[in-house]
Amino acid sequence: MSALESVVRLAWDTFRFSTNDKAGLLQKVKEIQGRAAALKIEDVGITEWQVKKLGPEREQGCAEIRAPVGYIEVFEDDLLAVGAFMLKSNVAMPLHNHPTMHGVLKVLHGSVKIKSFDILEKGSDEKLPFFRNSDFQPSLEDLEKLRFSSESEYTVDSEPCLVTPVEGNIHCLESVGGPAIFLDFISPPYNPSLGRDCYYYKELTVDEDDPNFDKNVVWAKQIECPRTYYCVKLDYLGPEIDMDK
């Protein structure tokens, strides 16, 4: 069994047998995080040729990826999605959510800056501040109430980034100093028909002297996916992943 299939199988088994024991599940997700830390770009079958397609240093005859981001589907079923995102230099992945999901993100090449937020519960009598960078004053239903969690730069030597249904669930990413590639494990996968759609957000600005300003709260409103952000699907050339074995 390949190193990649071993981690995919661990993740698949973890979520297949998951229960309502949130603490126990989180501990098992951290085991996935630990195992994923050892994965290398060659374990996923991503070649130097594919990496060169991301940057201006590509060789003659090496066609550029004609999108800011390339996506390689490694494995996906109703339980688990595993894929590699290939970002060109200084490409930003907009602020987005992971509804009810756990996730592990492992950098395979380059450097990725990740800014993460925890989801907070909104009160029914929530008093909203005035947002300076919004075209209109949004209603509570249009907003996510967040708490800043972390902003860190991840490399191939970093511990993988962890996402839970609440902690670090909404984040944005950016390749730093050149192209970057990361491997993503998420469960359950996005599925709009089951209420797990990917939504994009804009962080709103509040004056500190606003009577409803709270330094521990960040407000974000849902937006359309920015036209500058889109993906192209690329071929998976790595080892076979077979959960039926």
Tell me the DSSP string of 26-94: HHHHHHHHHHHTT--GGGGT--HHHHHTTSTTPPTT-PPPSSSEEEEEEEE-SS-EEEEEEEPTT-EEE
Of the ranges 23-32, 129-138, 140-149, 182-191, which one carries the lowest mean pLDDT score?
129-138
The larger pLDDT score, comparing residue 136 to residue 59, is at: 136
CATH 1.10.150.120 is the classification of domain 3-234:
no
Task: Indicate the pTM of the whole model.
Answer: 0.91
What would the two tokens of residue 110 be? 């380059």
Residue 239 confidence class, pLDDT cut points 50, 70, 90: very high
58 pLDDT more than 60: no
63 pLDDT more than 60: no
Domain residue ranges of the chain, discontinuous segments joined by +: 3-234
**What pLDDT was estimated at residue 103?**
97
**What pLDDT was estimated at residue 6?**
97
56 pLDDT more than 80: no
Mean per-residue pLDDT, 49-53: 81
124 pLDDT more than 80: yes
What would the two tokens of residue 159 be? 């511990």
Average pLDDT, the chain: 91
**What pLDDT was estimated at residue 17?**
81
10 pLDDT more than 70: yes
**What pLDDT was estimated at residue 60?**
47
